[in-house]
Amino acid sequence: MSKPLILVTNDDGVTAPGIQALTEVAKEFGDVVVVAPDKPQSGMGHAITINATLRVQELKSKNDVPVYSTTGTPVDCVKLAVNEILDRKPDLILSGINHGTNASINVIYSGTMSAAIEGCLEGIPSIGFSLTNHSIDADFTSAKHYAKKIVPQILENGLEKGVCLNVNIPDMGINEIAGIRVCRQANANWIEEFDRREDPSGRPYYWLTGHFENYDEKDDTDISALEQNYVSIVPVQYDLTAYSSLKKLSKLDF
Amino acid sequence: MSKPLILVTNDDGVTAPGIQALTEVAKEFGDVVVVAPDKPQSGMGHAITINATLRVQELKSKNDVPVYSTTGTPVDCVKLAVNEILDRKPDLILSGINHGTNASINVIYSGTMSAAIEGCLEGIPSIGFSLTNHSIDADFTSAKHYAKKIVPQILENGLEKGVCLNVNIPDMGINEIAGIRVCRQANANWIEEFDRREDPSGRPYYWLTGHFENYDEKDDTDISALEQNYVSIVPVQYDLTAYSSLKKLSKLDF
Q: Residues of B numbered 82-121 whose beta carbons fall under 8 angstroms of chain A's beta carbons: which are they?
A: 82-84, 105, 107-109, 114, 117, 121
Q: What is the mean pLDDT of residues A153-163?
A: 96
Query: Does A232 belong to an annotated binding site?
Result: no
Contacts with B234 from chain A: Cβ below 8 Å: 240-241
Q: Where in the sequence is the domain holding B64, given as residue range(s)?
A: 5-186+219-250
In a domain, A203, yes or no: no
Q: What is the pLDDT of residues A55-100, one digit of tens each?
A: 999 998 877 899 999 999 999 999 999 999 999 999 999 999 999 9
Instruction: Give residue B254's pLDDT.
Output: 85
Sign of CA dihedral A20, A26, A28, A30: negative
In a domain, A209, yes or no: no
> Is B44 in contact with A43 (Cβ distance < 8 A)?
no
Instruction: Give residue B1's pLDDT.
Output: 62
Q: Is B48 on the interface with A (CB under 8 A)?
A: yes
Is residue A98 within 8 A of residue A112, CB to CB? The reply is yes
* Residue (of A188, A182, A177) closest to B246 by Cα position: A182
Instruction: Give residue A253's pLDDT.
Output: 87
Instruction: Give residue A63's pLDDT.
Output: 79
Q: What is the pLDDT of residues B53-103, one digit of tens each?
A: 999 999 988 778 999 999 999 999 999 999 999 999 999 999 999 999 999
How many Å lie between the alpha carbon of A241 and the closest alpha carbon of chain B? 5
Is residue B133 within 8 A of residue B96, CB to CB? The reply is no
> Is A108 in contact with B46 (Cβ distance < 8 A)?
yes
Q: What are the beta bridge partners of residue A69?
A: A36, A57
In a domain, A195, yes or no: no
Instruction: Give residue A62's pLDDT.
Output: 73
Question: Which one is predicted more confidently, B62 or B133?
Answer: B133
In a domain, A173, yes or no: yes
Cβ-based burial of A136 (10 A; exposed 0-12, middle 13-18, buried ≥19): exposed
User: ipTM of the predicted structure?
Assistant: 0.95
Query: Does A83 belong to an annotated binding site?
Result: no
Is residue B120 within 8 A of residue B238, CB to CB? The reply is yes
In a domain, B193, yes or no: no
In a domain, A180, yes or no: yes
HSE of A215 in the Cβ direction (CA atoms, 13 Å)? 11
> Is B184 in contact with A243 (Cβ distance < 8 A)?
yes
Domain CATH for A72: 3.40.1210.10
State the total domains in chain B: 1
- A-chain residue closest to B249, CA distance: A182
Q: For residue A254, is pLDDT > 90?
A: no
In a domain, B15, yes or no: yes
Q: What is the pLDDT of residues B198-236, one digit of tens each?
A: 999 999 999 999 999 999 999 999 999 999 999 999 999
In a domain, B143, yes or no: yes
Strand bridging mode B163-169 / B230-237 = antiparallel
Instruction: Give residue A1's pLDDT.
Output: 62
